[in-house]
Amino acid sequence: KLGEQKHSREPSSSPCMHLAVVACGDRLEETLIMLKSAVLFSNKRLCFHIFAEDSLKPEFEKKLKEWPSSYTKKFEYNIYPITFSVGNAQEWKKLFKPCAAQRLFLPVILKDVDSLLYVDTDVLFLRPIDDIWHILEEFNSTQLAAMAPEHEIPKIGWYSRFARHPYYGTTGVNSGVMLMNLTRIRNTHFKNSLIPSGLTWEEMLYPLYQKYKNYITWGDQDLLNIIFYFNPECLYVFPCQWNYRPDHCMYGSNCKGAEEEGVSVLHGNRGVYHDDKQPTFKALYEVIRDFPFEDNLFQSLYYPLQTKFLDTVHTLCGRIPQVFLKQIEKTMKKVYENRVIVYLGANHRY
């Protein structure tokens, strides 16, 4: 299948949660830290679908092989080349960021995968993927994808102020974290602005791009907004704590779900893991990056995080550390309890 390679420590008979990411350019480290956060906390087996430029493939293989077996046995991974099934590959490649448009083709390429979670490389999981995976069960009969709003407040949202094309709802949706029922996407005929009868996902992509290419700023995300503008019944909107970005705290806290439950999925867009504009986001990235796999989570992850957060209290995002810490603390307690129970159970038998 398109030059894909499968790597697994054990047979993949057990059902797994499928996670897809597209990595080009300098996104190798970011992608590996995202995958690390997924493996650290998740319970059920994971299947990673990594779409990468040819030059990055050996690097991914080398780095993933270095992870300890106690973690590599929790997942298998496939690496795919960047391919576009319709239209002009060079045009798709140049759309917004290099290769980002690849995500639009996942239903076409991953024909054997029923459901999938797609994330951008700059995403970090602060709780098990199992929890977002369960949202698939909440889809009604017409819903086939889930995304979070692009903004909580229309008057300062980008789409509501600047968009020159149709977009979903009052503020548009952000495609950095996207849960998809691929089977439903492949089987649906979508309403559109091109022809009166519906088009399949693959039939619709290139003509839609041709029609709106002079009006879109955010590439593939804009195309997804256009698609769900015409097909709102197909989208499940999940709350902001599942795609928490600097916009949710840099103008004052505006994600109620994160205030109540804590951040579930952190999305460090605008390059905030790599500059000093949002030190709270950078602190989380660095602590997960530097965490030695086999170490104690509280000692080598949670406590260093608390210490780093003390240096960020002068920023708007840093004033609400509990929002960032609540879910990760809860998750680590669960991981710790599970390990203790397993350990005690094992000893009890002797």
Does the pLDDT at position 1 exceed 60? no
Is pLDDT above 60 for 231? yes
Section 215-221 average pLDDT: 80
Let me know if residue 83 belongs to a domain: yes
Q: What is the residue range of 34's domain?
A: 17-238
Examine the fold and report which residue of 238, 260, 294 is the final residue of a domain before the chain moves on: 238
> How many folded domains does the chain comprise?
2
338/47: higher pLDDT? 47
CATH of the domain at 113: 3.90.550.10
Check whether 337 has a pLDDT greater than 50.
yes
Residue 62 lies in a domain: yes
Residue 179 to residues 64, 119, 134, 190: CA-CA distances in angstroms? 24, 9, 10, 18
Residues 327 and 195 in one domain: no
Same domain, 316 and 192: no
Kindly tell me if the per-residue pLDDT of 350 is higher than 50: no
Where is pLDDT greater, at 144 or 97?
144
Same domain as 196, residue 320: no
Per the domain annotation, does 262 fall within a domain?
Answer: no
Same domain flag for 33 and 154: yes
> 289 and 210 in one domain?
no
Q: Identify the pLDDT of residue 7.
A: 63
In a domain? residue 225? yes
194 and 299 inside one domain? no
Closest by Cα among 93, 90, 7, 106 to 51: 106
